Structure 1
């Protein structure tokens, strides 16, 4: 589970073995047992969430938008 970056105690990462075939580009965010999965394409949108409240999800979505280029670069470096 490669970590892309950490932000305010949240871990932004992807699962290296998720999906066969691999799912479209996305990122997972984890903190205190809560997790959200965010699609990056065609637009940044929440795929699934467990445990986070709506305000936190919106905050995390904003971070993904802000750091989208970093996430995409990490994705392509890892998966090719």
Structure 2
């Protein structure tokens, strides 16, 4: 699973097999056995959450929004897709 970046102990990543057909562009975030998934477009929204509190989710959503282009570039590079 490609890791896009790490921040404050959180790992921002996606899986090398994101479904068939592939799911829309998104990023998973994990830390200490807890994880969440965020859709990137048209807006950053939580796709699922398995244990993060509301405040942490807001902070993660802000980080994903701030680094959305970097995440999208990593996704496109890995999967060989255009923007």
Under TM normalisation by the shorter chain, which class is it?
over 0.9
- 1:79 equivalent in structure 2: 79
Query: Over aligned residues, Cα RMSD in angstroms?
Result: 0.5
Q: Which residue of 2 aligns with 1:55?
A: 55
Question: When the two structures are superposed, what TM-score results if normalisation uses the length of structure 2?
Answer: 0.94
Offset of residue 67 of structure 1: 0.4
Corresponding residue of 1:19 = 19
Gaps of 5+ in 1: none
Counterpart-to-counterpart distance in 1, 2:37 and 2:68? 14
Counterpart of 2:28 in structure 1 is 28
| TM-score, normalised by the number of residues in structure 1 | 0.98
- 1:78 aligned counterpart, secondary structure: helix
How many residues get paired?
Answer: 80
In 2, Cα distance between the equivalents of 1:15 and 1:50? 17
Cα deviation for residue 19 of structure 1 reads: 1.1
Query: 1:40: how far off?
Result: 0.3
